[in-house]
A and B are shown apart, each in its own frame.
Chain A
């Protein structure tokens, strides 16, 4: 019931307006870190929308996750400027180290790996963002110690 209250609050903020479906999903995802299926069903009921419409939107846009995410969200920028400076290699090194592909979560639920098209910080590319913290001028060499930092945080 408590859970439903959270969703209700978000929906109320947008006055239950169907046109705000995307904003509602964004805010709900911020609460849960992902979009669980029962929550989507509940949103559909509340907004008086067919479930398929809610699913359509939730699956069309890249920033929605229909799977639980890990404790830390790693976002690798793959904008053109990062790409020509070796962003792809950085991504591959992270993939190798935590053994997941973009869009997936590591088995121990520690990391979720995602990519983004451009963050507009091209001067300091290649860029990796972990939990909103920006790490510029990345290279494959720095990956191990960066990941270590977050693994350590979890242990403490």
Chain B
């Protein structure tokens, strides 16, 4: 459908009214979650099944299917929400579609089989709002994912999209916009937490007729995917945020630097940009304001360091992503030497909200120094995996136990890793810490972009340190010696420790090296790269010592110093492990306990995965 250009604010208002009216005519909505996680779990086939059913019963006028980005509750993918009541069905299969339409949509009858069961109470929960995972959240950004088909700009307009932009054009000067953002207390959501308004102001004041804004969507922290969810599920909120920022700063060109590993995000943002252009919400003289703005997409090429702003800009310029010394900061000398403002995806997405509802409203959420909500990806050894949006300042305990539903299989909580490779591991003694920028830094970690990886008693902290060092060693661009060689050396030492070759004094050497890497590296990657090692030493020194002194891995993870054996009492002699062992290392007869030949065992763990009787022991 061709879109008519919106020439003034009034045109947008009228279009919105029309869209709201159209949407009100349809009685029931079936909202199908189909972000990357949903697709990976088969939402594509579910969508097709619903389309077929609607056609079969000729329900095109009565039911509206809405295919949305992710609903945040990854554990329950693919899921559907049936509005207006908000009935929540989880783990839908294509064959469920007909029953859902016939029973629930047409007759408003609940199908108990498809409901979410609370693991703690065993109760089946009908409505989305009652599910503990959602109940304690404050989903200012994420909830919109349910209201929007990201491939259809009209959905965004119908829920008030681009209203903040209209408000800005209707009567706010650049200075007033910046003042509003400053007053809101919004801080960068990408990691360091720099006040957004101040950043904008610096760029606004910088001399230069050409200025740029950039959206940093190079979400590289492993275990963090909130930016992907926003890009996939609500791309226009980011475009609108960038438009407002560009207006405030005086930029007429913007870039979104997005990871190529996120194909759906690239697709949806591209569609969003094109649709915004068709309406004239991007381009020349937007809504008759005289303001011009264009956005281009740049795809990353698999380099973690490009999340660092100066490296990111080098990459947009078509060069290798090597960071450079700051100052000059991007606000003075950024992309192609021009004043540039870079914010992260989630930061941009907060902007329209602040402008629409006001800084006063926004600054009432959160803590003294950290305002608003923050999205975390709660993953790892946790019952309710998903994206969690909470007012900043909630405690880790509330997030992990009340929203996350605790640790699976009755295992014990050991630590939560925040902030990705720049962050650290926080132990159970600190679970009551409120989550905000300052508190997490004090605890030796960082807020980072919002990854929260929960670890249980089966996670080895030396192995975790080794994992991050290996990650950073590969991702270090190599420019600073301290980072390139220091991280490499730390990796070698930790590897030795994990293989039972650690020596007395290794921990102290690690601490020394860590501080050098921290002090002598130029960019954030090196400066924070030692955090995973330092925080694990700080809170889990006993695990390092067990590896060094007793050549033991308490969590039974480090391959070189563990041994697999068979518990003769539990083994039923079913021969399953004998057949599965790739080395032929297990011998024994039917119905008699089997044995592992240690000289042949490569510790691949296949036997322990296949054994139904829990008879494989690892120590």
Chain A contact residues, CB within 8 Å of chain B: 18-23, 25-26, 53, 56-57, 60-64, 78-81, 83-86, 88-89, 92-93, 96, 116-125, 127, 134, 136, 139-141
Known: A18-B318, A19-B318. A122 touches B604 (CB 8 A): no
Chain A proximity mask over B196-230: 1 for CB below 8 Å, otherwise 0: 00000000000000000000000111111100110
| Interface stretch of the complex, out of B32-40, B58-66, B100-108, B347-355 | B32-40
Contact A124 B74 (CB under 8 A): yes
Q: Which residue of B lies closest to A79 (CB)?
A: B222
Chain A residues near B467 (CB-CB < 8 A): 80, 83, 88
> Binary interface profile of B, 590-619, with partner A (CB < 8 Å = 1, else 0)?
000000000000101110011000000000
Of A96, A119, A123, which one neighbours B604 at CB under 8 angstroms? A96
Q: Tell me the B residues contacting A by CB distance below 8 Å.
A: 36-37, 39-41, 74-75, 77, 219-225, 228-229, 260-262, 298-304, 315-322, 377, 379-381, 385-386, 417, 420, 451, 453, 455, 459, 464, 467-468, 471, 475, 477, 580, 582, 602, 604-606, 609-610
Is there contact, CB below 8 Å, between A118 and B318? Answer: no
Known: A26-B301, A62-B302, A117-B471. A89 touches B380 (CB 8 A): no
For B39, B302, B318, the residue with the greatest tally of chain A CB atoms inside 10 Å of its CB is B318
Taking a contact as CB atoms under 8 Å apart, the answer to whether A117 and B304 are in contact is: yes
Do the beta carbons of A22 and B298 come within 8 Å of each other? yes
| Docked pose: A92 CA to B222 CA in angstroms | 20
Q: Nearest Cβ in chain B — how far from A131, in angstroms?
A: 13
Residues of A within 8 A of B471 (CB): 78, 117
13 contacts between A and B (CB under 8 A): A53-B319, A57-B319, A60-B477, A61-B301, A61-B302, A86-B605, A88-B467, A116-B261, A118-B221, A120-B224, A120-B262, A122-B385, A123-B77
In the bound complex, residues from chain A placing their C-beta under 8 Å from that of B220 are: 117-118
When distances are taken between beta carbons in the complex, the residues of chain B under 8 Å from A64 are 301
Determine the residue in chain A with the shortest Cβ distance to B470: A78
Residue pair B610, A141 in contact (C-beta under 8 Å): yes
| A87 nearest CB across to chain B (Å) | 10
Known A-B contacts A80-B467, A136-B40, A140-B609; the reply to A57 vs B260 at CB < 8 A is no
Partner of B222, one of A18, A60, A93, A117: A117
Distance (whole angstroms) from the CB of A115 to the closest CB of chain B: 9
Closest A-chain residue to B73, C-beta based?
A123
> With A79-B223, A83-B467 given, can you name 6 additional A-B contacts, CB distance below 8 Å?
A20-B318, A22-B298, A61-B302, A80-B380, A121-B225, A122-B380
Complex interface: chain B residues within 8 A of A96 (CB): 582, 602, 604
Q: Which residues of B contact A81 (CB under 8 A)?
A: 222-223, 379-380, 453
Contact for A84 among B36, B459, B475, CB less than 8 A: B459
Which single member of B260, B299, B609 contacts A141 (CB below 8 Å)? B609
A19 to B604: give the CA distance in the assembly, Å: 46
Alpha-carbon distance A64/B379, docked complex (angstroms): 29
Interfacial chain A residues near B221, Cβ < 8 Å:
118
* A118 partner, pick from B222, B455, B580, beta carbons under 8 A: B222
Cα(A81)–Cα(B300), bound, Å? 22
